Amino acid sequence: MTLAPDVLDLVNDMKVRGEPFALATVVRTVSLTAAKAGAKAVILSDGTITAGWIGGGCARANVLKAARQSLSDGQPRLISVQPKDVLEEHGLKAGEAHEGVLYANNMCPSHGTMDIFVEPILPRPQLYICGASPVAVAIAAIAPRMGFFVSVCAPVSDHGLFGDADRLIDGYEIPADSGLGRYVIVSTQGRGDTAALKAALATPSAYVAFVGSRKKAAVLKDELAAAGVSPSELEALRAPAGLDLGAITTEEIALSIVAEMVEVRRRGQRRPDDQKEEGRT
């Protein structure tokens, strides 16, 4: 079965708009099933199927639940909906996972088996780099390879330093509608520090960091507090930015900051089994 044009168009449109969704695909069927291999559906974060079809109620509830979980933790899932007697024959129970497969009971009269792969399609996290210091330029070069959509906020005269940025913004204003999952780095190197930090702290973000010494950050925090920035906003600021890797060079400092963003982004997404398995390799 080929993907229906309306579903294909919707998938492409949602990717362009940066909207999160899950794509459920029937990958295998045995005996009688309402949907056949290749059937697909687009599922929103609230569990709504907005396009496509993957069968009736026998599989629908389990697929929608898996889609919500996948969009929450970023992990794909494989669900096998089987009749109760087939599950028991293989020593399996509905609701348990085994070797990466989540098993569910098919209580429909057809008594068929259907395997569905649920893939979360998440937008690239938004990274705003305020400033045009050498560290800022180095971060803009590294971050895209880690999956970040990079927007540079700096005076137009500095835009030529950032050849690989996805978007260039004149000045330090960050769009208010860029979402809670944004990451902001202030690396102004003395040029507009206060203005950039005000913009960075104006709206909630997953990560806000300042590239500079603790002493300089403390002075700037005092200035911001005197200017009316709330204590809770100042508390969110990471300074100095980056993991403590013992970095010295510009590139090493940039790497430590991008590594810290990855740590924040992936926190809670990795399953304990994945970490144990990795530790054995």
DSSP H stretches of helix in the chain: 5-17, 57-73, 84-89, 134-142, 193-201, 214-226, 231-235, 250-266, 272-279
The whole-number pLDDT of residue 266 equals 83
Q: In the chain, pLDDT over 70 holds for what percent of residues?
A: 91
Segment 48-66, tens digit of pLDDT:
888 888 877 767 888 898 8
Contacts 24+ apart (CB under 8 A), 68-74: 70/22, 70/118, 70/119, 70/120, 71/20, 71/21, 71/22, 71/45, 71/120, 71/122, 73/268, 73/269, 74/120, 74/122, 74/269
Angle at 42 between CA 266 and CA 7, to 5 degrees: 130
193 or 31, greater pLDDT:
193
pLDDT over 70 (residue 163): yes
- pLDDT tens sequence across 140-154: 999 999 989 999 999
Domain boundaries, the chain: 12-121, 126-266
Q: Which two tokens stand for residue 106?
A: 């098919």
**pLDDT tens digits, 184-237:** 999 998 888 999 999 889 878 889 999 999 999 999 999 999 988 889 889 889
Classify domain 126-266 at the CATH topology level. Answer: Rossmann fold (3.40.50)
**Three-state SS letters, 147-166:** CCEEEEEECHHHHHHCCCCC
Q: What backbone torsions phi and psi does residue 203 show, to the nearest 5 degrees?
A: -135, 155
Cβ–Cβ < 8 Å for 148, 261: yes
Kindly list the strands in the beta sheet with 207-210, ordered across the sheet, starting from the edge strand earlier in the chain: 167-170, 149-154, 126-130, 183-186, 207-210, 237-238
Give me the count of residues in the chain.
281
Name the pTM for this structure: 0.67
pLDDT of 1 > 50? The answer is: no
